[in-house]
Homo-oligomer: A and B are copies of this chain.
Amino acid sequence: MSATHRPGLLLFAHGARDPDWALPFAAVVERIRARAPALPVVLAFLEFMPPGIAEAGARLAAAGCDRVDVLPLFLGAGGHVRKDLPALLAELRSAFPQVAWRLQPAVGESATVIAAMAEVALRASTAME
């Protein structure tokens, strides 16, 4: 990354009524923080859980980020990723024009995550009783 940039990371998940639902997503954040302690990272939810994407984006802007990668923590790109998220991002762009908001593909579309899911499936199938 360029020395003139202060990047940030906004992880966007669906959210659910059960607080335990968010544990794997919180674990992703912990792992990112362990590997990149200086990188501001915020986990936001579409519904049911705070913060929403507006609040998460405001936090990253307040932290001085001028380039934020927005990564949908979804396995497939359905309506939430293809419609809801771009609309929410348009609001962030309007509220914080000094920040470059870069929408990334859904995390489940990456070869790395696809390979990991296949690995978990094969391990389940070959496990002993």
Whether B121 pairs with A24 at a CB distance below 8 angstroms is no
Q: Does A86 contact B (CB under 8 A)?
A: no
For this complex, into which size category does the number of interface residues on chain A fall?
Answer: 35 or more
Q: Does A115 contact B (CB under 8 A)?
A: yes
Q: Which residue of the partner chain B has the closest CB to A41?
A: B121
Q: Does A9 contact B (CB under 8 A)?
A: yes
Q: Does A73 contact B (CB under 8 A)?
A: yes
Whether B120 pairs with A112 at a CB distance below 8 angstroms is yes
Whether A16 pairs with B116 at a CB distance below 8 angstroms is no
In the assembled complex, the CB of A101 is this many whole angstroms from the nearest CB of chain B, namely 12
Q: Does A113 contact B (CB under 8 A)?
A: yes
Residues from chain B with Cβ under 8 Å of A74 in the complex: 75
User: What's the Cα separation between A121 and B104 when bound, in Å?
Assistant: 9
- Cβ contacts A92-127/B at 8 Å (1 or 0 each): 000000000010101111101111111111101111
Residues of A within 8 A of B (CB): 1-2, 7-9, 11, 13-14, 16-18, 20-25, 27-28, 31-32, 35-36, 39, 41, 69, 71, 73-79, 82, 102, 104, 106-110, 112-122, 124-129
